[in-house]
Amino acid sequence: MSTPKILILGAGYGGLLTTLQLQKKLNYNEADVTLVNKHTYHYLTTWLHEPAAGTAPADHARVDLDGIIDKSKINFVKGVVERIQPAEQTVTLQDQRVLSYDYLVIALGSEPETFGIEGLKEHAFSIRSINAVREIREHIEYMFAKYKNEPERTDYLTIVIGGAGFTGIEFSGEVADRIPELCKEFDVDPSLVKVYNIEAAPTALPGFDKELVDYAVDVLTRKGIEFRINTPIKQCKPDGVVLATGEEIKAGTVVWTGGVRGNSIVEKSGFEVMRGRVKVDEYLRAPGYENVFVVGDCALVFNEQGRPYPPTAQIAVQEGENCGDNLVALIRKEKMTPFVPNLQGTLASLGKGEGIGIVGQKKVFGPTAALLKKGSDLRYLYKIGGLGLALKKVRL
């Protein structure tokens, strides 16, 4: 029999960990492994709120794949996936190259969920990639520069953050930290700058522990963020947002952090999805396709109570490792292991040196939470690139 071909789409948390597991465990010539990714780098999506606000350079969240992938074991293809043809076992790239596979791993991440809200796709930014966050940072700076030339347009200095889930809360913390620096750089009176975090649900961070939510809202409010809770955004315009109450907030910058859905390529390729995510079996396979695995934000996994796990890097990493192990097992005609998440908790930053979280059963606040988050980031970097990478990226 010819060497089985494994094709992995996407080098984010899920795809990279699948690849690294195969790199570690497969013997030479046991399989022909190819990783396809849009860029020659992996990025830490979990850090993107920092470069988006400008509190860290975008490069900091990038890791060159060259440094972590062993090209003698893994073929790397820089390309943009356009479509998957599961019946033919092929994948077409944007440049019309066609790649074939025996086993496929879909790890293409997520896209912003706009719920059909008018104008959001056209006029709001979202925190989704290195290139997207470069644009947000530059745009905010441009708005400050523009205000200096049109001082009657104080709305240029208003930033609307749409959604107070974890992304909206973490981004609010970074923006609050950046504003004093921007005001100094552009000679702007800080009292003219407004940052709104607007949330549809009756609370910020819906579903999270109330004491921690109250702490986060209190810290961010003291840093100058104005929360509008229980207030859905119903329209986005080129110059701001309209709320369900009818109120209009004029703003030079609108960043949508109102949720995500699985990459639309999956649905376009004919897989059955819920909010763009494939309801996978216990081995993370797409229904009807025993050779197609789905990991990360494109996969939908339910807990014992029948509720979906939220799409997180933590789960994507564990899914990638499980998928890599199961591919090795399949190739060796051994038994696969069902995927069982091992959730360690949740940690979120609220800007420099501030955070909240639950680790095991314990609630953590302030600098302790911020430090634990740094620790968990370092553990991830160590996992993918060893001590060298962890030390290179550490920022305290």
Q: Which residues bind ligand NAD (CB under 6 A)?
A: 115, 117, 162-168, 170, 198-201, 206, 232-233, 257-260, 310-312, 346-348
Shortest Cβ distance from residue 335 to ligand FAD (Å)? 26
265: contact with ligand FAD by CB under 6 A: yes
Among 18, 89, 314, 326, binds ligand FAD (CB under 6 A): 314
Whether the Cβ atoms of residue 377 and residue 48 lie closer than 8 Å to each other = no
> Which does residue 265 bind out of ligand NAD, ligand FAD, none, counting CB within 5 to 8 angstroms by kind?
ligand FAD
Between residues 39 and 250, which has the closer beta carbon with respect to ligand FAD?
39
SS3 49: helix
Among 27, 66, 80, 343, binds ligand FAD (CB under 6 A): 80
Applying CB under 6 A, the site for ligand FAD has a residue count of 31
- How many Å apart are CA 84 and CA 293, to the nearest integer? 13
Which residue(s) pair with 111 in the sheet?
Answer: 261
98: contact with ligand FAD by CB under 6 A: no
258: contact with ligand FAD by CB under 6 A: no
> Which does residue 11 bind out of ligand FAD, ligand NAD, none, counting CB within 5 to 8 angstroms by kind?
ligand FAD
- How many Å apart are CA 264 and CA 206, to the nearest integer? 26
Contacts of ligand FAD in 148-177 (CB under 6 A):
167, 170
Q: What are the backbone angles phi and psi of residue 102, rounded to the nearest 5°?
A: -100, -40
Sign of CA dihedral 242, 179, 171, 10: positive
Tokens representing residue 117 in the block: 């809200």
Whether the Cβ atoms of residue 273 and residue 262 lie closer than 8 Å to each other = yes
Among 49, 137, 223, 261, binds ligand FAD (CB under 6 A): 49
Shortest Cβ distance from residue 347 to ligand FAD (Å)? 6
339: contact with ligand FAD by CB under 6 A: no
107: contact with ligand FAD by CB under 6 A: yes
SS3 8: strand
Position of minimal CB gap to ligand NAD = 165
Between residues 219 and 284, which has the closer beta carbon with respect to ligand FAD?
284
- How many Å apart are CA 315 and CA 65, to the nearest integer? 21
Which amino acid would we find at residue 223? K
Q: Is 170 a residue of the active site? A: yes
Whether the Cβ atoms of residue 304 and residue 261 lie closer than 8 Å to each other = no
> Which does residue 107 bind out of ligand NAD, ligand FAD, none, counting CB within 5 to 8 angstroms by kind?
ligand FAD
Between residues 61 and 347, which has the closer beta carbon with respect to ligand NAD?
347
Sign of CA dihedral 9, 11, 14, 15: positive
- How many Å apart are CA 260 and CA 63, to the nearest integer? 23
Shortest Cβ distance from residue 119 to ligand NAD (Å)? 12
Choose the catalytic residue: 170, 174, 267, 319. Answer: 170
Rg of the chain, C-alpha, whole Å:
22
Between residues 310 and 338, which has the closer beta carbon with respect to ligand NAD?
310
Which amino acid would we find at residue 227? F
Per-position DSSP letters for 148-217, written without gaps between them: HHSTT-GGGGEEEEE--SHHHHHHHHHHHHHHHHHHHHHT--GGG-EEEEE-SSSSSSTTS-HHHHHHHH
- How many Å apart are CA 253 and CA 295, to the nearest integer? 33
> Which does residue 80 bind out of ligand NAD, ligand FAD, none, counting CB within 5 to 8 angstroms by kind?
ligand FAD
SS3 105: strand
Shortest Cβ distance from residue 355 to ligand NAD (Å)? 9
Which amino acid would we find at residue 202? P
296: contact with ligand FAD by CB under 6 A: yes
Between residues 12 and 119, which has the closer beta carbon with respect to ligand FAD?
12
Which residues are known to be catalytic?
A: 170
Q: By CB under 6 A, name the binding residues for ligand FAD.
A: 10-15, 36-39, 45-46, 48-49, 80-81, 107-109, 127, 167, 170, 263, 265, 296-297, 311-314, 316
